């Protein structure tokens, strides 16, 4: 409990829980749409954007957000118009982004502490602005879940039928892409660009092992994500270990546990 007396622990918990909430909900839709790797590709784009922002002396959020949104739109365009499979488009964007980020770092004089933190996470160094962004995103994601869940699930499983039901699929996909991009940009501060995809994917696939309905999947995913982040923050404080890596390791352990429970009790 003494850890809670430190302001940086309080900020880390607040920002971590908010991002865990947003990422776990979006992760359900990404996993069900089989687009999990999109988050990995966009996280790599955020790394290149962050490297550029740090070289220019600007706030990384203001550079990362537009660049990640453009990259997400480019992935969609390439997969739909350029006759390139989605996974191939993600691979192209991810590799180009890493190369651009490394070149930017090299030109600026080498890897520094700031870039290292964005690569592997620095949740204990979150700022008030990060918390504000995370809070606004959490409100947006919850509002969408409340009012658009059925429409997004219908689009996820049968986009053609959704169009027949007069649902604007293109508009909904644009909103989804925007929210996903924002969550990734803010979430990179927690686990880093190299591990951000795991924060989105792990809770959803873990919840999938034991869930019997969509509502259960959302609840399990959110609970797993929040518990993993909280545990990761406290364990990193106790053992002086990297917070982002601990969060991913905890998610991995929970996934293995739920997988074994599923196999033992034949839940699904």
pLDDT at 255 over 90: yes
Which of residues 49 and 116 earns the better pLDDT score? 49
pLDDT tens digits, one per residue of 27-85: 999 888 887 778 878 888 888 888 888 778 777 778 888 888 888 888 777 766 656 77
Q: What percent of the chain has pLDDT over 90?
A: 18
Predicted confidence at residue 110, as pLDDT, reads 57
Q: Where does the pLDDT of residue 21 fall: very low under 50, low under 70, confident under 90, or very high at 90 and above? A: very high
**Residue 174 burial (10 A CB sphere; 0-12, 13-18, 19+):** middle
Interval 236-264 mean pLDDT: 88
Predicted confidence at residue 128, as pLDDT, reads 84
Q: Where does the pLDDT of residue 206 fall: very low under 50, low under 70, confident under 90, or very high at 90 and above? A: very high
Contacts of 225 (CB under 8 A, 6+ apart): 20, 21, 23, 24, 27, 199, 202, 203, 251
Predicted confidence at residue 24, as pLDDT, reads 92
Interval 189-204 mean pLDDT: 81
pLDDT at 226 over 90: yes
- Report the distance separating Cα 199 and Cα 251, nearest Å: 8
Predicted confidence at residue 250, as pLDDT, reads 93
Q: What percent of the chain has pLDDT over 70?
A: 91
Predicted confidence at residue 135, as pLDDT, reads 92
123 secondary structure, DSSP code = G
What are the residue ranges spanned by the domains of the chain?
2-265
- Report the distance separating Cα 203 and Cα 23, nearest Å: 9
Window from 66-80, 116-130, 180-194 with minimum mean pLDDT: 116-130
For the domain covering 2-265, report its CATH number.
1.10.3470.10
Contacts 24+ apart (CB under 8 A), 195-198: 195/120, 195/121, 195/244, 195/245, 195/247, 195/248, 196/39, 196/40, 196/43, 196/46, 197/36, 197/37, 197/39, 197/40, 197/43, 198/248, 198/251
Q: Where does the pLDDT of residue 25 fall: very low under 50, low under 70, confident under 90, or very high at 90 and above? A: very high
């Amino acid at each position: 409990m003494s850890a809670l007396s430190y302001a940086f622990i309080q900020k880390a918990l607040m920002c971590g829980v908010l991002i865990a909430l947003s990422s776990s909900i979006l992760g359900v839709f990404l996993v069900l749409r089989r687009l999990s790797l999109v988050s990995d590709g966009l996280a790599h784009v955020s790394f290149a954007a962050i490297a550029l922002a740090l070289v220019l002396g600007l706030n990384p959020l203001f550079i990362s957000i537009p660049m990640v949104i453009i990259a997400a739109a480019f992935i969609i365009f390439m997969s739909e118009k350029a006759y390139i499979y989605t996974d191939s488009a993600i691979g192209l964007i991810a590799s180009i982004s890493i190369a651009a980020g490394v070149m930017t770092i090299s030109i600026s004089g080498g890897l520094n502490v700031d870039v290292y933190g964005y690569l592997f996470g620095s949740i204990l160094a979150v700022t008030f602005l990060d918390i504000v962004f995370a809070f606004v995103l959490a409100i947006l994601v919850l509002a969408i879940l409340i009012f658009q869940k059925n429409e997004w699930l219908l689009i996820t499983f049968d986009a053609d039928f959704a169009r027949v039901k007069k649902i604007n699929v293109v508009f909904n996909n644009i909103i989804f892409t925007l929210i996903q991009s924002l969550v990734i940009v803010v979430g990179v501060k927690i686990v880093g660009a190299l591990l951000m995809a795991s924060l989105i994917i792990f809770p959803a696939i873990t919840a999938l092992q034991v869930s019997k309905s969509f509502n259960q999947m959302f609840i399990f995913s959110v609970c797993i994500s929040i518990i993993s982040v909280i545990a990761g923050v406290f364990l990193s404080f106790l053992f002086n270990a990297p917070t982002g890596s601990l969060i991913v390791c905890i998610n991995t352990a929970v996934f293995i546990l739920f997988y074994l429970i599923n196999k033992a009790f034949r839940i699904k």
